[in-house]
Amino acid sequence: MKPATTTELRLNLTKFYKLHVFRPNEFFNEPNWTEDIIRDDKPVRNVFVDAEQVKKALS
């Protein structure tokens, strides 16, 4: 059994307007948008840049 994990996922909500994002899969009857949360036993990380952290790093 694998240990539990906590991860945060940021969704790009502009994708809801694009039909090519919605694809059929074995779990749902209608096309849907699926995102990997865990891949190869590691959390998938979205690139997120915090403007405040960038300002601190540059000063």
User: What is the value of pTM for the model shown?
Assistant: 0.48
Instruction: List, run by run, the mean pLDDT of 10-residue segments along the chain (59 residues).
Output: 82 82 91 86 74 86
pLDDT score recorded for residue 20: 86
pLDDT score recorded for residue 17: 84
pLDDT score recorded for residue 47: 64
pLDDT score recorded for residue 29: 94
Phi-psi region of 40 (alpha: psi -120 to 50; beta: other; left: phi over 0): left
Give 33's contacts (C-beta < 8 A, 6+ positions apart). 15, 16, 21, 22, 23
